[in-house]
Amino acid sequence: MLSAQERVDLVATESRRLEEYLGSLSANAWDQPSKCSLWSVADVLGHLTWASDYFMATISRGMKGDISPPDDWPETGASAPEYFNRFIADKAIEARKTLGDGLVQEFQARNHRLQELISSVGPDELDMPCYGPFATRSVRLFITTRVQELAVHGWDMQASLEPSTHLSPAAVPLVLERMPQWLGLKGISDFRLPSTPSSSVRFRVDTGVGANHDILVTGDSCMLESAGDSANDADVVLRCDGEAGGLLAYERVSVDSVFGGGSIQGDVTLGNELLSWLKAK
């Protein structure tokens, strides 16, 4: 688990990496499709630029004890995910169109202001609640999310133009912190094992970098837990590369590409049942 200061430092590190890459792009690269579905490379940067303002507004308000929504944002819990996804997409495209040729410079300016704010957060402010569209979120979580967005959306832009691109190794553990959320969105609590309806089975998703999770399935429940210290307490271990697991959590790659041949340790039949269920979702 990375410390709060390490997360703050990663905001600056990932920002520098992205800014250096943006400076190398040719004029015809911006209209190319990115790895983020339906968005061009310019749209992705429009999102990161606009999101800088959103993060600034929510974090600064939260640090003052204000959890009200920024201007034109819905009240917490008032919108469905589908509406929110469309809202974000519209904001990204609007920013890209409005900023035009000044997009890179404006991203840098707004991102630097956000970095300064994040660097100013004190230890007693990390857990202060801030506005969120579905629930309040801590300042600490916003910092983590900014690292994730810089890393994944940076990959979205670069990998579309350079297929051999990798996520920043330093950011992979934080990107993997999305795995429980991804499993939750898949509806993992509804998963059952038809072949062993009365048994208790523990699955482990082992990423090789310590960000591991257990899925405990019984006859009438399924729960997501933090992984234990020993692989021996899991009935099935699903092994994957950390980067691949992080990209899967952001739905940039498929279950098949992440859990290929030889990835299942233990009961292969049970492991395949879980993977088949995930692929069908």
pLDDT at 58 over 90: yes
Instruction: With cut-offs at 50, 70 and 90, classify the pLDDT of residue 24.
Output: very high
CB 193 within 8 A of CB 199: yes
Number of separate domains in the chain: 2
- The reply to whether 100 falls in a domain is yes
Q: How confident is the model at residue 35 (pLDDT cuts 50, 70, 90)?
A: very high
Q: Is residue 186 domain-shared with residue 155, that is, in the same domain? A: no
What is the average pLDDT score of the chain?
93
Residue that is last in its domain, among 163, 192, 214? 163
CB 211 within 8 A of CB 176: yes
- Residue 229 banded pLDDT, cuts 50, 70, 90: low
Same domain, 201 and 145: no
Q: Specify if 174 maps to a domain.
A: no
Q: Which of 113, 129, 163 is the last residue of a domain?
A: 163
Residue range(s) defining the domain that contains residue 126 = 4-163
Mean per-residue pLDDT, 234-248: 95
Provide the pLDDT confidence category of residue 80 given band limits of 50, 70 and 90: confident
- Residue 28 CB neighbour total at 10 angstroms: 7
Please check whether residues 98 and 141 belong to one and the same domain.
yes
pLDDT at 76 over 80: yes
